């Protein structure tokens, strides 16, 4: 992505993280995936959403890490948590029990209907690339109230049909949640380094609702593996504030220092 004129100097990655963070409302109980979601969720907590409740699948309830965890179960998460429960309890009582408003996920592949693939590229029995697998995502996506997804925009990631549905978005036809009892709303927002997308309320196909400053519709189309739709009321994503960038950079710097030190 080429840099264009902006009020502040920031990277596309920072734009993505700040936008993802802003999507998180104060007071939300959020089941946090590791990596980009964790970065965004903690930025939210350190800026506009001090009472956001961050929950990691390692069992750490309401945690407030000073530095970003590298793994989903770094000591930092347990040390700053309200309490730490067993992993079965986490998945049974807190996720399946309906206590989570929002699941915040990353993914390797995502398709037109917001299905996620973190299992493999190619054929299951003879994979070209074996990815890590489902982890918590399959049930986060169905048992949380709704789901945000954040990842970098590229043609490899945004594919027309995922090779494998690890985690349900809206199924191969957009109707995968219809008539299923006790299921969450599913993905309501996808935040990338180029734009923000939401599923069409009817068809559930992903639609671009907001372009980040300096990003063109063509750029988004080039980085997407299907003919992506843009909403008629396409907006420009607000830029990061100086404060957000300062907090984010401080967080990443503390994190880098902490992880290098061991």
Partner 1 sequence: MAEILSLHDAVTRYVEDGTTVAMEGFTHLIPFAAGHEVIRQGKRDLTLVRMTPDLIYDQLIGAGCAKKVIFSWGGNPGVGSLHRLRDAVEKGWPHRVEILEHSHAAMACAFEAGAAGLPLAVLRGYVGSELPNVNDQIKFIECPFTGERLAAVPSVRPDVSIVHAQKADRAGNVLVEGIVGVQKEAVLAATHSIVTVEEIVDDLDTHPNACVIPGWAIDAIAVAEQGSLPSYAHGYYPRNNRFYKEWDAIARDRDTFTQWIEENVMNAGETA
In the window 188-247, what residues touch partner 1 (CB under 8 A)? none
Binding region for partner 1 (CB under 8 A) out of 77-85, 145-153, 208-216, 229-237: 77-85
Closer residue to partner 1, CB minimum distance, 34 or 190:
34
Site for partner 1 in 79-108 (CB under 8 A): 79, 81-88, 90-93, 95-99
Site for partner 1 in 133-152 (CB under 8 A): 133-139, 142-143
Distance (Å, rounded) from C-alpha 129 to C-alpha 41? 29
Task: Examine the residue annotation and report whether 205 is marked as an active-site residue of this protein.
Answer: no
Strand partners, 63: 81
By CB under 8 A, residue 50 contacts partner 1? no
Tell me which residue of 252, 180, 186 sits closest to 14, measured CA to CA: 252
Distance (Å, rounded) from C-alpha 243 to C-alpha 14? 12
Select the residue interacting with partner 1 from 2, 5, 128, 202 (CB under 8 A). Answer: 128
Burial of 173 (0-12, 13-18, 19+ CB in 10 A): exposed
**Residue of 14, 39, 57, 76 with catalytic role:** 57
Closer residue to partner 1, CB minimum distance, 128 or 218:
128
| 113, 67 Cβ separation under 8 angstroms | no
Catalytic residues: 57
């Amino acid at each position: 992505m080429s840099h264009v004129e902006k009020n502040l100097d920031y990277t596309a990655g920072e734009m993505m993280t700040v936008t993802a963070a802003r999507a998180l409302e104060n007071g939300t109980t959020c089941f946090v995936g590791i990596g980009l979601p964790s970065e965004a969720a903690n930025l939210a907590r350190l800026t506009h959403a001090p009472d956001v409740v961050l929950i990691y699948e390692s069992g750490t309830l309401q945690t407030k890490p000073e530095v970003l965890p590298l793994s989903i179960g770094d000591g930092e998460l347990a040390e700053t948590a309200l309490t730490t429960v067993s992993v079965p309890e986490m998945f049974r009582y807190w996720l399946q029990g309906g206590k989570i408003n929002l699941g915040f996920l990353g993914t390797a592949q995502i398709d037109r209907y917001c299905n996620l693939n973190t299992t493999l590229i190619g054929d299951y029995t003879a994979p070209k690339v074996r990815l890590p697998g489902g982890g918590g995502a399959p049930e986060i996506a169905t048992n949380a109230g709704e789901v945000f997804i954040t990842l970098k925009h590229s043609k490899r990631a945004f594919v027309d049909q995922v090779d494998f549905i690890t985690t349900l978005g809206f199924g191969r036809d957009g109707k995968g949640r219809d008539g299923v009892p006790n299921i969450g709303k599913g993905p309501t927002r996808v935040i990338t380094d180029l734009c923000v997308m939401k599923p069409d309320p009817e068809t559930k196909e992903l639609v671009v609702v907001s372009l980040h400053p300096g990003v063109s519709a063509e750029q988004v189309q080039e980085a997407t593996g299907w003919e992506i739709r843009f909403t008629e009321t396409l907006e420009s994503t607000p830029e990061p504030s100086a404060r957000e960038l300062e907090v984010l950079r401080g967080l990443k710097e503390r994190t880098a220092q902490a992880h290098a030190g061991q």
